Amino acid sequence: MSRPRPFVLLGLAFVVLAGGFVLWLQIGLMSSLVSVALGARNFQTGLTGAVDQLTAGDYEAALANFDEVQSAADLVRASTGGPQVQLVGSIPGFATAVDNWRVLAVAASDITTSTGELLSIFGDLSGKSGEVKIFSDGAIDIELLKQLPPRVAAVNTSINDSVAQLKLVNTSGPAAGFLATVQAKALKEAKPVQRAVSALVDLAPLLPDALGANTPKRYLIAIGNQAEMRASGGAPLTLVLVEFDDGRISIPIKGQTSTQLYPPLNAPVQWWGPAGNPFFPTNPRNAPMVVANTHPSLLYSAREMSGAWIGGDYPEVDGVITLDLSSIAAVLNAIGPIASPTYGEVTGDRLGQLLLVEAYEKFGVAEFTARQEANQQLLDELLSRLLSGENLVSVSKAIASTAPGRHFQVWMRDTRFENFILESGAGGSVRDPGVGDWSAVYTQNGNQSKVDVFQQRNVLVSAQMKTDGSAHVTQLMTVTNATPAERPEGPPERIGYETSWLKAAYLLYVPNAATNYSSYYPQGFTVRSFKDHQQYGRGFADDGFGQKLVRVVGWTAPGAKAEVSVSYDLPAGTFTAPDGSLVYTLQAEPQSIWNDATLTVRVTPPTGWRAVDDLGMMIDADGVAELSAVLSGQVSVAIAMKPAS
């Protein structure tokens, strides 16, 4: 048998080597691609979990998810280091793809570092990181608090740089689909981290001064009773003064407004308030503290409460915080129940029924001091638990979750803090958005009854559209005094917390652009005009912010309902879209009543037009659209219409 020629052996060797090289290259590249794909997937799920758990206030669960994020980021980074990837990166046409692959890996690593630091900050704030707590046992570590702004700023810079690098990745050319997928996932998961840090960037520099690092700061907490409503919240029947002084937190003054703080029973005091507020015609004011929050906007009501507080010979405050039982119930649901000698175990789900209904049934008029003492004891226990600092993040999250419905509101005297609060949506402002339609309606208790807890409210907004983008609008507020049928009607004068009758002021705004506006109300009701303030006619007056407001007052029997409405025209072009279609838009504001109101919007298109079907919308045979929403927060509505053809 003849021996193979040398060039044949050389060829075979070349084939073996080439095949081995290709196999080595394929295995290496496949391994790297599998690593980056697996790492990207785990990075996405882990980061989503970590951010979700941070948002939920679960530090331990966030840590567990973050371990997965770190492992995934390491896997993605390792995927770029193989010799096969380096070799491919030297081939013209593939170099850009490999370079961008490496950029993605570095960005994932940077996002992981930023998330880790954010988690560390969260742990320090919540006291769960194992390090010294920023807040615990009624005290604040001012030095740790001062270190917070630069830490947050560094995280913010890092995450923003990472996002910027991700956006610069070139996803064209070889591996374009793969790079684009990984880039999109990384950007998607970076956004919630970016948002969380952005909020802290604005807040962190303000915290030391706001919490008494430089000079003592005092804040008045007004706890609103939703059984007796005012326009901006429940009647402030319980007040707490909180003082921050160089890390020390104290509560020098607290008590029931009517008897303990303004004896003998809601005694009137004198104070100076904002001149633009139409609910108080003259300065100085001379009225009880419990009627200070009558203006729908907290920008006025908080300043009135601050003034009335000072009028009672109490120290000036740097801000006013309003909480009601909806907000406190959210706190109890977050931290667990409180034991009360009077009410037993008080849970968040039971709080309203206990304090707004059963307490008034349990204690008669002659025993009102016993009811107030029981309520104060419950509040003291709650304050004690809050000041321990054990549930700081959970409590903060619970309270903040009630801000959209105005159950938690803040006004700050310092404009730096106030601007941040307003931007956050917790400032309780009532402002016409300036575009489209606007619904802002409120009730205000006028006979000291405690039946607002039973109030059932529906607001029906009906808009008749025209082809020029104008509309005729009617807003009908229906309020049912749904006191239980078995509850006694109460004393004949129909005043006080034993009556089941409701005397209320119905406050309704119309948009600034409205013309031909009028109000309508039941027989026996009356428009109660504001004194010494700019009048627009037909009972409408300037609310102090250049907005049109009307006040209608009347009595509603138990089980009966009152219907009060306003109608007006909005000018041509208000609802005309750039493409020539019509889009009715509405912004509706909430009031912090115990039972959330229901908003119903009904839009009738011009003749020959139809509403465009959308999620949750009902459209009848004539093309009229209707939808409903719960007013647990500000609601925005958009209903598009097009010619039927």
Kindly give, in sequence order, each residue whose CB lies less than 8 Å from that of residue 17, ignoring residues fewer than 6 positions away.
Answer: none
Write down the residue that tokens 């705004």 correspond to: 509
Alpha-carbon dihedral angle through residues 392, 398, 402, 403, given to the nearest 10 degrees: 30
C-alpha span between 338 and 380 (Å, rounded): 11
3-state secondary structure (DSSP) of residue 239 = strand
Reported as a pLDDT band with limits 50, 70 and 90, residue 584 is: very high
pLDDT at 18 over 50: no
176-203 vs 6-56: helix crossing angle, rounded to 10: 30
Write down the CATH number for the domain with range 215-424: 3.40.630
pLDDT at 589 over 60: yes
Q: What is the pLDDT of residues 322-355, one digit of tens each?
A: 999 999 999 999 888 988 888 888 888 988 888 8
High-pLDDT (> 90) share of the chain, %: 50
pLDDT at 170 over 70: no
pLDDT at 7 over 70: no
3-state secondary structure (DSSP) of residue 202 = helix
What is the pLDDT, as a whole number, of residue 321?
95
- Residue 83, both tokens: 């010799």
Listed residue (192, 48, 209, 58) closest to 122, CA to CA: 58
Q: What is the pLDDT of residues 71-94, one digit of tens each?
A: 655 555 555 544 544 444 444 444
C-alpha span between 409 and 411 (Å, rounded): 7
Domain 437-643 has CATH 2.60.40: yes
- Single pTM value for the model: 0.82
Report the range out of 533-537, 624-628, 641-645 with the highest average pLDDT: 624-628
Listed residue (582, 585, 571) closest to 623, CA to CA: 582
The CATH class that applies to domain 18-209 reads: mainly alpha
What is the pLDDT, as a whole number, of residue 162?
72
What is the pLDDT, as a whole number, of residue 383?
78
3-state secondary structure (DSSP) of residue 15 = helix
Domain ranges of the chain: 18-209, 215-424, 437-643
How many Cβ atoms sit within 10 Å of the Cβ of residue 526? Answer: 11
Yes or no: say if 90 and 40 are a contact pair by the CB < 8 Å rule: no
pLDDT at 493 over 90: yes
What is the pLDDT, as a whole number, of residue 20?
36
pLDDT at 559 over 80: yes
Mean per-residue pLDDT of the chain: 83
Q: What is the pLDDT of residues 516-528, one digit of tens each?
A: 999 999 999 999 9
Tell me the three-class secondary structure of 252-284, residue by residue: EEEEEHHHHHCCCCCCCEEECCCCCCCCCCCCC
Peptide bond into 296 cis (omega under 30): no
Distance between start and end Cα atoms, the chain: 90
Q: What is the pLDDT of residues 92-148, one digit of tens each?
A: 444 555 555 566 666 666 677 767 777 777 777 666 666 667 777 777 888 888 888
Tell me the three-class secondary structure of 210-227, residue by residue: HCCCCCCEEEEEEEEEEE
pLDDT at 21 over 90: no
